[in-house]
Structure 1
Amino acid sequence: MALIKSISGIRGTIGGTVATNLTPIDTVKFAAAYGMWLKSQTNKEKLTVVVGRDARISGKMVSSLVCNTLVGLGINVNDIGLSTTPTVEVAVQMDGADGGIIITASHNPKQWNALKLLNGKGEFLNGEAGEKVLEIAKDDAYLFSEVDDLGNYRKKQGYINKHIKEVLALKLVDVEAIKKANFKVVVDAVNSTGGIAIPALLERLGVECIELYCEPNGQFPHNPEPLKEHLTDISELVVKEKAHLGIVVDPDVDRLAIVSEDGSMFGEEYTLVACADYVLGKTKGNTVSNLSSSRALRDITEKHGGNYQASAVGEVNVVELMKASDAIIGGEGNGGIIYPESHYGRDSLVGVALFLSHLANLKISCKELRDSYPSYFMSKNKIELTPEIDVDAILEQMAAKYSNEDVITIDGVKINFESEWVHLRKSNTEPIIRIYTESTSQVNADELAVRVINEIKEISK
């Protein structure tokens, strides 16, 4: 069981003891710290926060604690209920709210939940703001409102439909081309809120939708991280139904994976590549992804005459670099699409609409589209952390070992070789070291990963 406090929010397992798990006490503590930070940023008499949640079993309990804590601080709450991370982000903008909280642990298993914290732009807090929230929580520096000054609580509905309407209105979303393509699609929403949002979007796009695990009951039928080894059911169903493709989202719908018509994985990394290829083909500009993302985005960007840059891992870091470099699309290689024409947040609804627009315009199959891109292969591994492991020392030693190579240390250690790379970093959301490698074949990527893992184990003895 675990409780992870980071600048991006508070994440932990439900139950157990205070300060070591995400208990009701911890939930109230960090919701209050966020509310206090929000109040420190303005002189407004009354603030408003949008709260939404994914379909996790614990979601209703955690949401109730969060909402009532904010009310106790004198903050008005717009509770939009079952929602998606990008929908809450958009709702903050729609309501002109001062912030937002998303109750979701993203791709983590069902025993986990989290508070994801947004600013008044509907974007994740930056490092400085996140640190201040943690400081307030550490000092228990809360001041709750007297009875006449309590906030108002309102349930509000219809935001997923409002979000869909905004997606359909995007200039590059070619609704007519998608309708003419007569796509047949299988959707795996891991029994969370993607089961509400994605089929509704596809219906508006005239796409035939076959639903797999789209009941938003929080009972995840498989590991909710949209990786190949977890997606055998949809791969088989796509082939059986002779569908054009499969669409997979994680529980809070900010990661998008595609399955080709033959049941093969299009590749999480290539979701962003395909969407960027489409956008860059229509609008000249730059792109950004993080250090753990495929070189394929760089290749596609340069093909279209744009400039590619890599940020530290984390959505807020990608967004900051996108703004600084005037990037017109970006995201993370885990299937997260950030399209500023909509908003600065990973959004699977936007990703689906852009991907289908691209496919409909090209009039080729999903597999043909994947085969048209540079072939890079990734291996994603992790090492479980124990208290005695000095991760920083290990990373320093690995950087020194490969000092003759192109080494980047802005976020862990990334070692660039001529035709492959490895990125080592501590996870912000789990007690692990992530080890990502990429090469020109799966065998080479796997072998590089094994070599590096063995080197780390030798160092940590």
Structure 2
Amino acid sequence: MTLIKSISGIRGTIGGVPGNNLTPIDAVRYAAAYGSWIKQQRDKESYRVVVGRDARISGEMVQQLVMNTLVGLGINVIDLGLSTTPTVEVAVALEHADGGIILTASHNPKEWNALKLLNSKGEFLNAKAGQEILDIAEKGDTTFADVDSLGAITVNDAYIDMHIDEILDLPLVNVEAIKKAKLKVVVDAVNSTGGIAIPLLLDALDVHCTKLYCTPNGEFPHNPEPLKEHLGDLMELVVEEQADFGIVVDPDVDRLAFVDEKGEMFGEEYTLVAVADYVLGHTPGNTVSNMSSSRALRDITEKHGGSYTASAVGEVNVVQQMKDTNAVIGGEGNGGVIYPELHYGRDSLVGIALFLSFLAEQNKTVSEIRAQYPAYFMSKKKITLTPQLDVDLLLKTMAERYASEEIKTIDGVKIDFPENWVHLRKSNTEPIIRIYTEARSQQEADELANRFIAEIKEITGI
């Protein structure tokens, strides 16, 4: 089993041995480190942290441990209970809180859970802050409060409704057009908190919602990563119900994918592309996605007269690049939509509302909208290296070999060819290189990946 400590938080499998798995002791240790870090940021009379969770079976146990650890540090807690990652992010900002913790392992199976850590803006921590918390945990440098200085827990279960209200107030969410369109959708929320939030949003927009796996009990009916091979039930039900399209989210509702009216995948990479097309059509500007996301976003951005920038992989990197370039929309190709008009975080709820607005205004089917975009196909492979190999030197060699092409080295090596691209990234946890490619056909994408695997083997002799 596994415990992974990183600058973005701590995640692991429930049970087992402390230090090797996510046990109650580990949850307390890292909650204490985070709480200590919060208190180091500002010297003030009182502190508040927002805590929410997805519907994982272990969620309530972990949340109680985390909240009461913060109470023991003298920190007040706003308990959102069952919530979504973007809702917690919005709540931190609305509460003017000192930070937030989301208890979710995103798309990982049910035996996993995690503490995802937010700053006072409701955004994920940067590398410096994350490392400071890891250092505090390593040293055990925590001083708890005395009996007269303990924090308190306040329950607030209204924040999903408040999050939806914030979305409905956005100028680009065309509530009137959506209601007039009388749309019908099927929602697969993988029995987590999307099953609470998405039907509420759709009901507010007068969109007919057929629920599939919307009971928030943490019993995931299929692999919770929203990929085509896991979504057969949704694809069938969309056709059976004669719905306009299907919606699927991951357990914490920050990844969004669609199924068209024919029961075909819209393409997770194209969630952001379609939403960006709508946003840019109303508010021209710049966009950002990470280096492993589809080139289609660049194409759409340039069509609208904007400038596209690729960031290093990771939400915190996308957000920083968005701020640096004043991007009006951005995100990640895994279905993560970041709309800064609301907040700087991947948010499936705002993504759904913007897509519904687009659909209502276009008066086209979802498959017709998808056909408007350039067709790109991706391949994702990896190659195992010997532990002794100097991966950084290998990546430098690859960059030098293709120096005549457009090269980016902020996150591994990305080589942009005129008709396709390849992105080589080293893993921080195991001796592998991940090879992402994109081209105009699946065969071409696979062949490009295999070509670079062969080149790496040739250079390294493995």
Give the counterpart letter for 2:173 in structure 1.
V
From the superposition, tell whether residues 212 and 390 of structure 1 become closer, same or farther in structure 2 (CA, over 3 Å): farther
1:84-143 deviation per Cα after TM superposition (whole angstroms, max 9, x unaligned): 000000111121111000000111111111111011111111111111111111111111
The reply on whether 1:79 has 2:79 as its aligned counterpart is: yes
Q: Which runs of 5+ in 2 are unaligned?
A: none
Corresponding residue SS for 1:94 = helix
Give the counterpart letter for 1:190 in structure 2.
V
Give the counterpart letter for 1:446 in structure 2.
D
Query: Is contact 2:99-2:120 (8 Å) kept?
Result: yes
Give the counterpart letter for 1:415 in structure 2.
I
Give the counterpart letter for 1:310 in structure 2.
A
The reply on whether 1:98 has 2:91 as its aligned counterpart is: no
Query: Is contact 2:286-2:328 (8 Å) kept?
Result: yes
1:194 to partner: Cα distance: 0.5
1:48-98 deviation per Cα after TM superposition (whole angstroms, max 9, x unaligned): 000000011111111111101111111001111000000000111121111
Alignment match, 1:304:
304
Alignment match, 1:324:
324
Give the number of equivalent residue pairs. Answer: 461
Range with bigger deviation, 265-274 or 14-23: 14-23
Please give the TM-score of this superposition, normalised by the length of structure 2: 0.95
Give the counterpart letter for 2:83 in structure 1.
S
1:169-210 deviation per Cα after TM superposition (whole angstroms, max 9, x unaligned): 111000111111111101111111001111111111111111
User: Equivalent pairs: percent with the same residue?
Assistant: 70
From the superposition, tell whether residues 191 and 382 of structure 1 become closer, same or farther in structure 2 (CA, over 3 Å): farther
CA distance in 1, matches of 2:115, 2:423: 27
Alignment match, 2:223:
223
Corresponding residue SS for 2:360 = helix
After TM superposition, list the pairs within 5 Å mapping 1:331-410 onto structure 2. 331-382=331-382, 391-392=391-392, 394-410=394-410
Alignment match, 2:313:
313
1:407 to partner: Cα distance: 2.7
Give the counterpart letter for 2:196 in structure 1.
I
Please give the TM-score of this superposition, normalised by the length of structure 1: 0.96
Corresponding residue SS for 1:136 = helix
From the superposition, tell whether residues 388 and 196 of structure 1 become closer, same or farther in structure 2 (CA, over 3 Å): farther
Alignment match, 1:23:
23
CA distance in 2, matches of 1:181, 1:429: 48
CA distance in 1, matches of 2:312, 2:375: 24
Give the RMSD, CA atoms, in angstroms.
1.9
CA distance in 2, matches of 1:395, 1:371: 36
Alignment match, 1:251:
251
1:424 to partner: Cα distance: 2.3
Alignment match, 1:88:
88
Corresponding residue SS for 2:253 = coil
Alignment match, 1:188:
188
1:434 to partner: Cα distance: 3.5
After TM superposition, list the pairs within 5 Å mapping 1:90-169 onto structure 2. 90-169=90-169
CA distance in 1, matches of 2:428, 2:190: 23
CA distance in 1, matches of 2:330, 2:60: 32
CA distance in 2, matches of 1:429, 1:220: 27
Give the counterpart letter for 1:145 in structure 2.
A
CA distance in 2, matches of 1:448, 1:52: 43
The reply on whether 1:33 has 2:22 as its aligned counterpart is: no
CA distance in 2, matches of 1:172, 1:217: 34
Give the counterpart letter for 1:320 in structure 2.
Q
From the superposition, tell whether residues 433 and 422 of structure 1 become closer, same or farther in structure 2 (CA, over 3 Å): same
CA distance in 2, matches of 1:50, 1:14: 23
CA distance in 2, matches of 1:41, 1:270: 39
Range with bigger deviation, 10-19 or 350-359: 10-19
Corresponding residue SS for 1:165 = helix
Corresponding residue SS for 2:225 = coil
Range with bigger deviation, 233-242 or 418-427: 418-427
Corresponding residue SS for 2:425 = strand
1:227 to partner: Cα distance: 1.2
1:401-460 deviation per Cα after TM superposition (whole angstroms, max 9, x unaligned): 544433322112212222111112245799965332110111111222233345456637
CA distance in 2, matches of 1:133, 1:349: 30
Corresponding residue SS for 1:218 = coil
From the superposition, tell whether residues 228 and 164 of structure 1 become closer, same or farther in structure 2 (CA, over 3 Å): same
Give the counterpart letter for 1:131 in structure 2.
Q
Alignment match, 1:199:
199
Corresponding residue SS for 1:316 = helix
After TM superposition, list the pairs within 5 Å mapping 1:403-442 onto structure 2. 403-426=403-426, 433-442=433-442
Corresponding residue SS for 2:195 = helix
Q: Which runs of 5+ in 1 are unaligned?
A: none
CA distance in 1, matches of 2:17, 2:385: 21
Give the counterpart letter for 2:86 in structure 1.
P
1:336-370 deviation per Cα after TM superposition (whole angstroms, max 9, x unaligned): 11111111111000000000100110000000000
CA distance in 2, matches of 1:460, 1:230: 37
Corresponding residue SS for 1:129 = helix
Corresponding residue SS for 1:180 = helix
From the superposition, tell whether residues 385 and 238 of structure 1 become closer, same or farther in structure 2 (CA, over 3 Å): farther
CA distance in 2, matches of 1:432, 1:82: 36
Alignment match, 2:239:
239
CA distance in 2, matches of 1:250, 1:429: 24
CA distance in 1, matches of 2:216, 2:44: 37
Query: Is contact 2:74-2:150 (8 Å) kept?
Result: yes
Corresponding residue SS for 1:186 = strand
CA distance in 1, matches of 2:192, 2:396: 40
Give the counterpart letter for 2:193 in structure 1.
T
1:275 to partner: Cα distance: 0.7
CA distance in 2, matches of 1:202, 1:23: 37
CA distance in 2, matches of 1:448, 1:239: 35
Corresponding residue SS for 2:330 = strand
Corresponding residue SS for 1:320 = helix
Range with bigger deviation, 394-403 or 244-253: 394-403
From the superposition, tell whether residues 404 and 119 of structure 1 become closer, same or farther in structure 2 (CA, over 3 Å): same
